[in-house]
């Protein structure tokens, strides 16, 4: 998906991420271990994480610099990804909001009301409601 984001000039992205290396099945979806390094390599910066109980519980709050510091600590404390059984049954997801480096600061993250529907397929008209 990464090259497609770049080819299509995607400036903003919202992703569901897992927090603090906790997950209920094997996947590479941890904010610090997987998403932050990957998105940084692609040329995106994290704007924020969605305010949530899980983000507060694991102290993933604040601006991008504080999030990077929190991730550095997580990876220093746990250099190896834990196994699934060590964290099974916990709900640990939140949303990360990303912006492509070079996007003008006066361009806000789009509000996409139609995208909040629990569906996987969106029409061209629904995508158009998100702005540029």
Q: What pLDDT, in 10s, does the model give residues 51-83?
A: 766 666 666 666 788 888 989 999 999 999 887
Q: What is the pTM of this model?
A: 0.75
* Residue 30 contacts residue 74 (beta carbons within 8 Å): no
Which helix (H) or strand (E) is 37 found in, with range? helix 36-42
Averaged pLDDT for residues 90-100: 81
* Residue 31 contacts residue 17 (beta carbons within 8 Å): yes
Residue 7, token pair as written in the block? 């080819």
Mean pLDDT of the chain: 78
Segment among 14-18, 67-71, 93-97, 121-125 with least mean pLDDT: 121-125
Residue 27 has pLDDT above 50, yes or no: yes
Residue 82, token pair as written in the block? 């834990």
More confident residue, 99 or 26: 99
* Residue 81 contacts residue 18 (beta carbons within 8 Å): no
Give the pLDDT confidence score for residue 131 in this predicted structure: 56
Give the pLDDT confidence score for residue 43 in this predicted structure: 94
Give the pLDDT confidence score for residue 19 in this predicted structure: 83
Give the pLDDT confidence score for residue 61 in this predicted structure: 64
Residue 17, token pair as written in the block? 């991420």
């Amino acid at each position: 998906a990464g090259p497609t984001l770049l080819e299509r000039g995607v400036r903003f992205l919202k992703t569901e991420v897992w927090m603090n290396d906790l997950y209920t099945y094997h996947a590479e979806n941890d904010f610090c271990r997987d998403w932050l390094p990957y998105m940084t390599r692609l040329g995106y910066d994290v704007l924020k994480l969605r305010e949530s109980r899980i983000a507060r519980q694991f102290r993933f709050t604040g601006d991008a610099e504080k999030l990077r510091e929190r991730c550095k600590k997580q990876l220093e404390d746990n250099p190896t990804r834990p196994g699934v059984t060590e964290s099974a049954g916990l709900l640990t997801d939140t949303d990360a909001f990303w912006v492509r480096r070079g996007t003008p600061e006066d361009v806000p993250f789009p509000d996409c009301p139609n995208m909040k529907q629990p569906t996987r397929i969106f029409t061209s008209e629904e995508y158009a409601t998100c702005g540029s």
